[in-house]
Amino acid sequence: MKISILTPDLSHNCLGRAYLLAKILQKHYEVEIVGPLFGKGIWEPLLNDKSIRYQHVRITGKLKPYQQIRQLAKKIDGDVIYASKPLFSSFGMGLLAKHHSNKPLILDIDDWQSGIVRGRYIGLRSLYRYKYLVSSLFFLYSPLSIWNSLFGEALSRFADEITVSNDFLRRKFGGTLVCHARDTEHLNPEKFDKRKFRDRYRMPQNKKVVMFFGTPRPYKGLDDLVEAISMIVNRYIVLVVVGIDYKNSYCLDLVRRAKSLLGEERFIGIGLQPFKKMPEFLAMADAIVIPQRRSTATVGQVPAKLFDAMAMAKPIIATNVSEIPNILGRYGLIIQPGNPIGLAEAIKYILGNLPKAQRMGRKARQKAIAMYSWKAVEERLLRVFDKYAFPN
């Protein structure tokens, strides 16, 4: 059986979820990832990964995308269609393909999309809100369109089945829970020596490294983290942010602010990295911080990087947002969001009690293996697809 996994944009970090699903399913079925390219190429962290076959169309012009996405939908030849996110350029394309072929269509929801764009809308001034509503309707295909998300979620009932990444989404949309699972065999701290990789990436051996690894966005609390580090008067504690897109305006502003508050000596910014190098960077960290802010964008989101850090047995500091406290449990520190002072105190506690923090990290890895590894979620995902491979 062949599965066509649809992603709304092959050039964006939303490809990460489609890639995860493809890697798990690939062990049992033929799999391809299909989607439009809104940017110049495949999302950089997966650019050189040849383990998955991609089928795409490059998006050009203002009105052409409607026709381009429709033509791509006709090329989908999987026996089952699996759309990642309830958006026009993935689920909408899946609905078009289902209309042409009457093949089963499964929808995966890993974020509350309308919550994300609602946060964007609320942050605009009145005049720009009106402009955003109108342009969102005109450019309905855009992943940033508020109507794209609202219509997509309303149409989710036309999917044959739904999978979701967390319990908030399951309560909202129903379906089967498929967490942001991780390959815990690859993300194994025993395979990655801290000193070796600090030497490789020219990171000082005598520094305590507080790391954020992921895609910086305003709602992810990086500004709180920079402020927290600035409150700690210790030149041996440095902040390392891995995953900076130097073409993104927010990322550039973040780097400027961090260097202004911390100086070149206490801030290290590292660009986008391939998925396969993720454990090399995590290995260098003394603590991982996931400082999510509470907003409509984060209430239905569980950061995938939480599972990376757990798999690598890292001491973790995270905020009380969404289901993070339930997932991390007693194996990390949980603080209130938007609280740089509390964040600074948590960082000082972790770095001042590293043996205890490292024990918590090892227990977090055990939980990740048991509940959030590929093997742990594989059986649940296969139950969704096996009925189509082996119909009664």
Query: Cβ-count burial of 250 within 10 angstroms (0-12 exposed, 13-18 middle, 19+ buried)?
Result: middle
- In this prediction, residue 93 carries a pLDDT of 96
By DSSP bridging, strand 287-290 and strand 316-319 are: parallel
Mean pLDDT, residues 307-313: 98
Q: Take residue 146 and report the two structure tokens written for it.
A: 């508020």
What band does 126 get if pLDDT is binned at 50, 70 and 90? confident
User: Is there a single domain that holds both residue 193 and residue 326?
Assistant: yes
DSSP state of 339: -
Q: For Cα atoms 23, 29, 34, give the angle at the middle one, nearest 5 degrees.
A: 65
User: Is there a single domain that holds both residue 367 and residue 378?
Assistant: no
- In this prediction, residue 240 carries a pLDDT of 98
DSSP string, 201-237: TT--TTSEEEEEES---GGGTHHHHHHHHHHS--TTE
Residue 67, domain CATH:
3.40.50.2000
User: Is there a single domain that holds both residue 105 and residue 228?
Assistant: no
- In this prediction, residue 391 carries a pLDDT of 67
User: Is there a single domain that holds both residue 160 and residue 283?
Assistant: no
DSSP state of 191: G
User: Is there a single domain that holds both residue 76 and residue 216?
Assistant: no
What band does 199 get if pLDDT is binned at 50, 70 and 90? very high
Res. 207: pLDDT tops 60 = yes
Mean pLDDT, residues 115-135: 84
Mean pLDDT, residues 266-295: 96
Question: What residues form DSSP beta bridges with 4?
Answer: 32, 81
Res. 87: pLDDT tops 60 = yes
User: Is there a single domain that holds both residue 246 and residue 259?
Assistant: yes
User: Is there a single domain that holds both residue 156 and residue 201?
Assistant: no
What band does 213 get if pLDDT is binned at 50, 70 and 90? very high
Q: Which pTM value belongs to this model? A: 0.94
Q: Take residue 31 and report the two structure tokens written for it.
A: 């799999």
CA distance 328 to 367: 9
Q: Which of 105-119, 120-134, 151-165, 215-229 has the lowest mean pLDDT?
A: 120-134
User: Is there a single domain that holds both residue 59 and residue 194?
Assistant: no
- In this prediction, residue 163 carries a pLDDT of 98
Contact assessment for residue 319 and residue 204, using Cβ atoms and an 8 Å cutoff: no
Q: Take residue 197 and report the two structure tokens written for it.
A: 């990789």
User: What integer best gives the mean pLDDT of the chain?
Assistant: 94
- In this prediction, residue 132 carries a pLDDT of 85
CA distance 195 to 201: 10
Q: How far is CA 388 from CA 103, 317, 382, 385, in A?
A: 10, 42, 10, 6
Instruction: Give me the amino acid identity at 348.
Output: K
Instruction: Give me the amino acid identity at 32.
Output: E
Full domain range(s) for residue 114: 2-181+374-389
User: Is there a single domain that holds both residue 250 and residue 112?
Assistant: no
For the chain, what is the largest distance between any 2 Cα atoms, rounded to a whole number of angstroms? 66
Res. 186: pLDDT tops 70 = yes
What band does 143 get if pLDDT is binned at 50, 70 and 90? confident
By DSSP bridging, strand 267-271 and strand 287-290 are: unpaired
What band does 245 get if pLDDT is binned at 50, 70 and 90? very high
Who has greater pLDDT, 194 or 120?
Answer: 194
Mean pLDDT, residues 96-104: 91
* Domain total in the chain: 2
- In this prediction, residue 9 carries a pLDDT of 96
User: Is there a single domain that holds both residue 6 and residue 88?
Assistant: yes
Contact assessment for residue 305 and residue 213, using Cβ atoms and an 8 Å cutoff: yes
User: Is there a single domain that holds both residue 212 and residue 171?
Assistant: no
Question: What residues form DSSP beta bridges with 3?
Answer: 31, 80
Res. 231: pLDDT tops 80 = yes
User: Is there a single domain that holds both residue 94 and residue 117?
Assistant: yes
